[in-house]
Amino acid sequence: MKISCFEDLAIEAKKMTRKTKIAVVEAQDEHTLESVIKATEDGIMVPVLIGNAKKIEELLVRFGAEPSAFEILAASGVEESLQQAVGLIHDGKANAIMKGRLESGQFMKAIVTKDNGLLTGGKLSLAGLFETKKYHKVFAVTDMGLNTYPDLEGKKIIITNALQLLHALGCANPKVAVLSAVEKLNPKMPDAVDGDALKKMNIKGEIKGCIIEGPISFDLATSSASARIKGYDSPVAGDADLLVVPDICAGNILVKCLTGFGGARTAGTVLGARVPVILTSRSAETSDKYYSIALAACAAASF
């Protein structure tokens, strides 16, 4: 992968010849605007700020930015902000959308509403990129928070979505670990059964552009020492580029452990829509939002 650290992610985003124009919904949010200002100054994005124009301008001034340098679209509330953003995408005036000061549920409702035309017919999934001192390279996790209990076909689509992102980041043949509590097929464990099936799909060429191992435990996927001790032989062992979690609970716990206990930096984007969707928590730090913008900019190049 070209991305060895998050600074590399920003560098790759800056290299994009077509700057990503991002519609920022309800942009009157401090961390969101800080990240947008930095990403704009760094040449990563061209923003369209939608929402309470007065508050947006006040925040821009507070952060030392000149409001006249930004395109600001006034909206009377969340619904109007969302509809303006959707309209920009339909008109080709934006090629990504970012959540600002609104509930995730409200934001995603606009994405999944069929009449808005942002769906492609596939399944949406949330992929995150992580950097931690505990691991030797940047890696991805999916699905982090959209699909509750995906079935086998759902997991296949989730992996395919993530592969498109990793390929755009320069990882030509990602090593994919389909996580389970075990590394052997156990018919009583659905996630282990799915892991085995996905590996077979990969071998048969039904899922291309990667190497899939599954089922595989987290320690074997991320620690070559654990693999040696347990005598586990796989090209994915200790070197996974993508961790595929079995369900939303496992994904939520893993991500919060990585960031909370592991001190990992993170960036995320929703995949499977017509354009990259930047869905970050309202409590996310400015740096997390900034790198999520950079990730979406890299992803936009493959759309």
pLDDT band for position 282 (50/70/90)? Answer: confident
pLDDT digits (tens, 9 = 90+) for 151-200: 999 999 999 999 999 999 999 999 999 999 999 999 999 999 999 999 99
**Residue 151 and residue 191 share a domain:** yes
Question: What DSSP string runs through 85-135?
Answer: HHHHHHTTS-SEEEE-SS-HHHHHHHHH-GGG--B-SS--EEEEEEE-TTS
pLDDT digits (tens, 9 = 90+) for 130-159: 999 999 999 999 998 899 999 999 999 999
Q: Which domain holds residue 62?
A: 1-119
**Residue 253 and residue 137 share a domain:** yes
Would you state the pLDDT for residue 66?
A: 96
**Residue 60 and residue 192 share a domain:** no
Average pLDDT over residues 102-106: 93
- What token pair was written down for 186? 């156990």
**Residue 268 and residue 167 share a domain:** yes
Question: Cα-flanking dihedrals φ and ψ of residue 38, to 5°?
Answer: -65, -45
Is 174 among the domain residues? Answer: yes
Instruction: Provide CB contacts within 8 A for 102, sequence distance 6+.
Output: 25, 26, 78, 81
pLDDT band for position 7 (50/70/90)? Answer: very high
pLDDT band for position 16 (50/70/90)? Answer: confident
pLDDT digits (tens, 9 = 90+) for 233-263: 999 999 999 999 999 999 999 999 999 999 9
Is 128 among the domain residues? Answer: yes
| 213 closest CA partner among 250, 174, 176 | 176
pLDDT digits (tens, 9 = 90+) for 19-72: 899 999 999 999 999 999 999 999 999 999 999 999 999 999 999 999 999 999
**Tokens 């700057």 sit on residue:** 19
CB contact at 8 A, 290 and 8: no
**Residue 20 and residue 136 share a domain:** no
pLDDT band for position 3 (50/70/90)? Answer: confident
**Tokens 């010849």 sit on residue:** 17
Number of H helices, E strands in the chain: 11, 11
**Residue 192 and residue 99 share a domain:** no
pLDDT digits (tens, 9 = 90+) for 217-237: 999 999 999 999 999 999 999
The domain that holds 17 is classified in CATH as 3.40.718.10
Q: What percent of the chain has pLDDT over 90?
A: 90
Q: Is the pLDDT of residue 289 over 90?
A: yes
**Residue 221 and residue 107 share a domain:** no
**Residue 132 and residue 27 share a domain:** no
pLDDT digits (tens, 9 = 90+) for 65-81: 999 999 999 999 999 99
Q: Is the pLDDT of residue 303 over 80?
A: no
pLDDT band for position 1 (50/70/90)? Answer: low
pLDDT band for position 214 (50/70/90)? Answer: very high
